[in-house]
């Protein structure tokens, strides 16, 4: 797989919202039980004892600290979402203004060279990313690890997206980061191709065609298949490789 696609709209941005996206589960009982196992005098900590209550307070403070660090990471991280396929009917409907937008194709290796960071594939799993233990000596590292896992894990119900993600934080973006918009506009490579939606209007098509001609980018348009529930890509303007 060496090409990734980004679906864009022409005049209206629409995205179905996943309430679990970039989220994490907290197993408070598991965290407390793991803390009990780390105590030197496990036998002296019985339920309800002063030491037991003290440990409960410590763990709650640790979880609160974890949540605070988590929210900071979320505010200072930007994600660009890409797909392996340009033919998904759901993707065109959900992300490209009901087939009126366009799909932009990029070369994965060139993206890596430009950003000096690789896009990573999303893992589709029934199980949520879960924080089950807290080690105060490594809580920052553990939080970052869990955070990256949460950014790259989604429910199998979203597997039709065949998604890859470019993840960059505020530090990596430098002065291009915008705190108000919680993201950054980074320099990007030119597309390999652009594909118009099957319902794109004439004025939008002319605008994209001019851009493709000026930059020698291959241009296609999707058409509805005459007998199958699928889209076929028809070349509009092609340039030599």
In tens, the pLDDT along 39-80 reads: 766 555 777 788 888 888 888 888 888 888 888 888 899 999
To the question of pTM greater than 0.85 for the whole model, the response is: no
What integer pLDDT is reported at residue 156 of this predicted model?
Answer: 96
In tens, the pLDDT along 144-167 reads: 888 889 999 999 999 999 999 999
Q: Which residue has the higher pLDDT, 37 or 4?
A: 37
Q: Where are the beta strands (DSSP E) in the chain?
A: 3-8, 25-26, 77-83, 102-107, 120-121, 123-124, 130-131, 153-154, 163-169, 177-178, 183-184, 193-196, 218-224, 231-237
What integer pLDDT is reported at residue 12 of this predicted model?
Answer: 43
Q: Where are the domains of the chain?
A: 3-237
In tens, the pLDDT along 109-144 reads: 898 888 888 889 999 999 999 988 777 677 778 778
pLDDT exceeds 70 at position 196: yes
């Amino acid at each position: 797989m060496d090409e990734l696609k980004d679906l864009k709209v022409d005049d209206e941005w629409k995205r179905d919202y996943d309430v679990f996206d970039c989220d994490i589960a907290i197993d408070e009982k598991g965290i407390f039980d793991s803390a009990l196992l780390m105590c030197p005098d496990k036998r002296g900590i019985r339920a309800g004892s002063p030491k037991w209550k003290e440990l409960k307070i410590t763990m709650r403070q640790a979880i609160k600290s974890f949540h605070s660090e988590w929210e900071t990471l979320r505010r200072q991280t930007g994600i660009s979402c890409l797909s392996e396929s340009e033919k998904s009917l759901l993707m065109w409907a959900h992300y490209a203004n009901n087939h009126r937008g366009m799909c932009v194709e990029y070369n994965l290796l060139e993206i890596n060279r430009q950003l000096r960071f690789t896009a990573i594939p999303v893992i589709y799993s029934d199980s949520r990313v879960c924080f089950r233990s807290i080690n105060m000596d490594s809580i920052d590292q553990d939080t970052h690890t869990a955070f990256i896992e949460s950014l790259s894990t989604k429910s199998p119900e979203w597997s039709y997206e065949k998604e890859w993600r470019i993840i960059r934080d505020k530090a990596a973006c430098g002065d291009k980061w915008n705190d108000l918009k919680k993201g950054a506009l980074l320099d990007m490579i030119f597309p390999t191709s652009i594909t118009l939606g099957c319902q794109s209007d004439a004025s939008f098509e002319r605008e994209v065609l001019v851009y493709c001609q000026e930059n020698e980018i291959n241009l296609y348009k999707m058409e509805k298949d005459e007998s199958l529930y699928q889209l076929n890509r028809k070349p509009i303007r092609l340039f030599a490789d």
